[in-house]
Amino acid sequence: MPSLALDSTLNPPLNGSVGMNNNVIEQKGEHNIMSFNMVHEIVSEKTVKDAKKFYTETFEKYYRDGTPSVYMEKLLFDPQIATGDPDESMTMIKPPYLQ
């Protein structure tokens, strides 16, 4: 089994992003849920370094002992429903070469 460390060689970041969420579709459900929970925590409270450490330690324990974490079972935050841009829409002006 490959190492669970989240580094640029195992899990390359997309455009300099955290690198935790770029393979979400290919992973199992518990990986997806854990990834979303960790991204939420990075945005709201944790540092990237702390989140990577927690993510790695949690899955090492899961694969070694079979001990799941609540972070893998459900989203630990309430997804926001109305997240549209509150600004007013505007009509795009065509550049001269498209007119």
Name the percent of the chain in helix, strand, coil, to the closest 5: 45, 0, 55
Does the pLDDT of residue 70 top 90, yes or no?
Answer: yes
Give me the pLDDT at residue 3, please: 39
Run of H or E including 71:
helix 70-73
Give me the pLDDT at residue 45, please: 87
Give me the pLDDT at residue 50, please: 92
What is the mean predicted confidence (pLDDT) over 75-97? 77
Instruction: Tell me the C-alpha distance between 28 and 83, whole Å.
Output: 27
DSSP, collapsed to helix, strand or coil, labels residue 38 as helix
